[in-house]
Amino acid sequence: MNNLFAASATAGAVLSLLAYFLGMYLKRKTGWGFMNPLLIAIVLVIAVLLCARIDYDTYNASANYISWFLTPATVSLAVPLYQQLDRLKQNIKAILVSILAGCIASMGSVFALSLLFGFTHEQYVTFLPKSITTAIGMGVAQELGGITAITVAVIIVTGIFGNIIGEALCKALKITDPIATGLALGTSAHAIGTARAMELGETQGAMSSLAIVTSGIITVIFANFFAMLI
């Protein structure tokens, strides 16, 4: 199998897409929150690679085409935001303050946990951009001297976790306003959380899209300051 993947230019991409489509099918069939398509795809791909003894570099060489769509997919999130432009203008101050507070809380929690567990500077900055989209988080971690591969994994785990529990947590805290719900999901769980926000409604999706872009910019600005703390 390893030779088959090495000889194919698309085997990794096909495996990844099939695993994701299976995850989508299981999510629709069961309706369970933890049946996240991305989580299922990750588990299935890892299982196949381990069982078939396919090394990661070989798999990645035929799967990296998928990553080319990451940036345009993120940019396309501006469409629902444009559709809700009037609502954005009406609530611009509250929205920006909310996103700023979410970003500081995210990086502040990483700082506190790093002190608690005695992280090195490299480990600390690796986790620092955990709540922003992968396209931006990778660049932040690399610039600060973090381990980019681990940053990607942490960002994905954060997004999946937010996607699964975000709605339930908002309900538990009696957060029912669609703007607040969308901002919370986008700020804490980036694009994966936004996918869930779009399922909840057009307003939630638009606000979550705005949160992705804005939180990314804020994190880039403040990450250097937080990086100096450890």
228 phi and psi angles, rounded to 5 deg: -75, -10
Residues 112 and 213 in one domain: yes
The last residue of one of the domains, among 30, 45, 70, is 70
Residues 179 and 109 in one domain: yes
The last residue of one of the domains, among 70, 86, 106, is 70
Task: Report the range out of 25-34, 40-49, 111-120, 169-178 with the highest average pLDDT.
Answer: 111-120
Structural domain of residue 86, as residue ranges? 78-227
Short-list 73, 120, 77, CA closest to 128: 120
Lowest-confidence range among 76-90, 115-129, 140-154?
A: 76-90
Rounded mean pLDDT, 153-167: 90
- Predicted confidence at residue 194, as pLDDT, reads 87
Residues 96 and 66 in one domain: no
Query: Model-level pTM?
Result: 0.80
Contact of 95 with 183, CB cutoff 8 Å: yes
Long-range contacts of 45-52 (CB under 8 A, 24+ apart): 45/15, 45/16, 45/19, 48/15, 48/19, 52/1, 52/2
- Predicted confidence at residue 203, as pLDDT, reads 87
